[in-house]
Amino acid sequence: MRKFISLPFYIKLACILISIVILGYLARIGDTIIVPLILGILFAMLLTPMSTLLEKKLRFPRTLAGIVCIVLFFGGLATGLYLLASQLSMLQEDWPAFKHQILDGVEVVQDWVNHQFGIQYNEQMNLLNKTASKSVDSGTLILGTALMSLSSIAIFLVFTFLYTFFILIYRGHIVRFLLYLNAKEDHPVVLEIVAEVQYVVKRYLIGLLLQMLIVTTLVYIALAIIGVKYSLLLAIITGVFNVLPYIGIFSSMFIVALITFATSTFSHVLFVFVAMSIIHMIDSNVIVPKVVGSKVKINSLFAMMAIVCGELIWGISGMFLAIPLLAIVKIVMDRVDELKPWGFLLGEEKVEK
């Protein structure tokens, strides 16, 4: 019989904190490998039912089924990005009007600053010139950073594509590996965890896609009624940004208001703020609980904490990955006796009727 050593609480706490710090540091320095790998795992879980269907119903070899699933999935993403880029190119037509509107807005701000603080126009222009000069001096650095970012994004997409394909191909091998790591009497629990993780991830990602579609449709209808130019483009931007919890809607609201101000009147900007605020309330109180929130039973406190930690470690990618990773952690905790209290803490509060 195996005997376990009982350690004092402060030693356990120290070991846990040290482990968290080490894991966080490794996750931070290894983001180039870890983030595409996690995305590949999530996408592979999403595509597993399609691959299984092709293998069983159409008798496709697993490799061919994986190729078909990957091509269809990433082809759909590429098509969406192409449509978004084509819509963005249309903004070039209104660039002169955009510039003129911004200059008029600057003049209004200058008048207000002169009236409120007594700062003359020439002093304001000198300050603007100094700022512009500093911006030009740092232009080379900004350009180099942008090029590095583009190359990093390309590498990120390639790794995500490859990870998704190989995990989809070797998914059975990976499950057998997990079974080998555990005793035979624990195999049913391991298979149950794998099945539920796949279910939760699949439903969560599908819920996000449905949320994106619904929000895009609502924003498009609202902007079309208001009479905002490029309603479809701005609706797509809002739907994409809305995937980022809590901050996405406010970022998209700022972008939509800015473009509306450049192509329309100030009254339209106010209507845009009101319409998008209403859509945000509908999204938060109806769409998310019914479409997304019901698939991942995580309470809002720890969801927010996970999003903040994800942003600190992996940036925007971490904000997207925070909720599904936390859901996976909760599934594992709920099935390990020693961790069940922590799984209960992460879950939603049950209201007694």
DSSP secondary structure string for all residues of 284-329: IIIIIIIIIGGGS---HHHHHHHHHHHHHHHTHHHHHHHHHHHHHH
- Model pLDDT, residue 323: 82
Which residue in the block uniquely carries the two structure tokens 């922590």?
342
Residue 254 in domain: no
- Model pLDDT, residue 141: 43
Higher pLDDT, 292 or 316: 316
- Report the share of the chain in percent with pLDDT over 70: 75
pLDDT tens digits, residue range 101-156?
656 666 666 666 666 666 665 665 665 555 544 443 444 443 344 334 445 677 78
pLDDT tens digits, residue range 216-225?
899 899 888 8
Number of domains composing the chain = 1
Cβ distance 114 to 120 under 8 Å?
yes
What 3-state DSSP class applies to 70?
A: helix
Residue 328 in domain: no
Cβ distance 286 to 218 under 8 Å?
no
pLDDT tens digits, residue range 121-132?
566 566 555 554
Mean pLDDT of 324-333: 85
- Model pLDDT, residue 295: 52
- Model pLDDT, residue 132: 44
pLDDT tens digits, residue range 7-43?
777 787 888 889 888 988 888 888 888 889 999 998 9
Boundaries of domain holding 149 = 29-163
Question: How far apart, in whole angstroms, are the C-alpha atoms of residue 210 and residue 228?
Answer: 24
pLDDT tens digits, residue range 75-101?
888 887 777 777 666 666 666 656 566
Q: Which residues contact 50 (CB under 8 A, 6 or more apart)?
A: 69, 72
- Model pLDDT, residue 120: 62
Residue 150 in domain: yes
Q: How far is CA 349 from CA 7, 110, 207, 283, in A?
A: 31, 53, 22, 21
Q: Where residue 332 falls among pLDDT bands split at 50, 70, 90?
A: confident
- Model pLDDT, residue 259: 79
Residue 345 in domain: no
Cβ distance 315 to 331 under 8 Å?
no
- Model pLDDT, residue 1: 39
Cβ distance 215 to 252 under 8 Å?
no
- Model pLDDT, residue 140: 42
- Model pLDDT, residue 177: 92
- Using the predicted structure, report yes or no on whether residue 50 has a pLDDT greater than 80: yes
Cβ distance 247 to 241 under 8 Å?
no
pTM equals 0.72
- What mean pLDDT, rounded, does the chain reach? 77
pLDDT tens digits, residue range 201-212?
888 888 888 888
Q: Which residues contact 243 (CB under 8 A, 6 or more apart)?
A: 208, 211, 212, 320
- Helices and strands (H, E) in the chain, number of each type: 14, 0
